[in-house]
Amino acid sequence: MLLIIFISFILVSLVGVVFHFMHKWFKKGFLLHIFSAINESTWEHTKLSFYPVLITMIVHYYIPGFNYVGFIGSAFFVILTAVLLIPLLYYPIRFIIGREIVWISISLYFVCIAISFGLEYYLVSNQIFIVNDFSAIIGILILFILYIIFTYFPPKNFLFFDPVFKKYGEFKQRFDK
């Protein structure tokens, strides 16, 4: 089980990096941008963990030793952890340092993914029940829908602010040229 989780960590890390640059490679991939970061906002960077970890949890569901009563709830908790840790760690670190240090921000992504998979290992090893399957599936669907909506219609909130272009979203201007 530990080997599978380690391999999953490596694959999710690589897929997250690919998703970060995918918008530059496929500028006209309208649906593809739902999965890739379209700007440098914190919200868009949480996508780099959400989709790869979600796919990994679906794969883990079918691997013997992972699937137990309550696994879907645990998987939802792992997904939430991967997504929420990014802003919960990024903003305090940035406040303490006082500026953006790129290698720290990049390292933080990998740390958040590692913590999430460490959590999965703990939950699966102990077969911990967190929430029922129905609630977990609804939670995952809500996150999925929010990622779709906020990709194209980001609210004016600090999580959605692109510090490079000093704007919110700007999908059409950056990708439809």
Per-residue confidence of the chain (177 residues) as pLDDT tens digits?
A: 899 999 999 999 999 999 888 877 776 666 777 888 888 899 999 999 999 999 999 999 999 989 899 999 999 999 999 999 999 999 999 999 998 888 998 999 999 999 999 999 999 999 999 999 999 999 999 999 999 999 889 999 999 998 888 888 765 544 444
Region of residue 46 (phi > 0: left; psi between -120 and 50: alpha; otherwise: beta): alpha
Residues facing residue 168 across a β-bridge: 161
Q: Residue 68 and residue 19: Cα distance in Å, rounded?
A: 30
- pTM here is 0.90
Helix 102-125 and helix 71-97: axis angle, to 10°? Answer: 150
Domain boundaries, the chain: 2-175
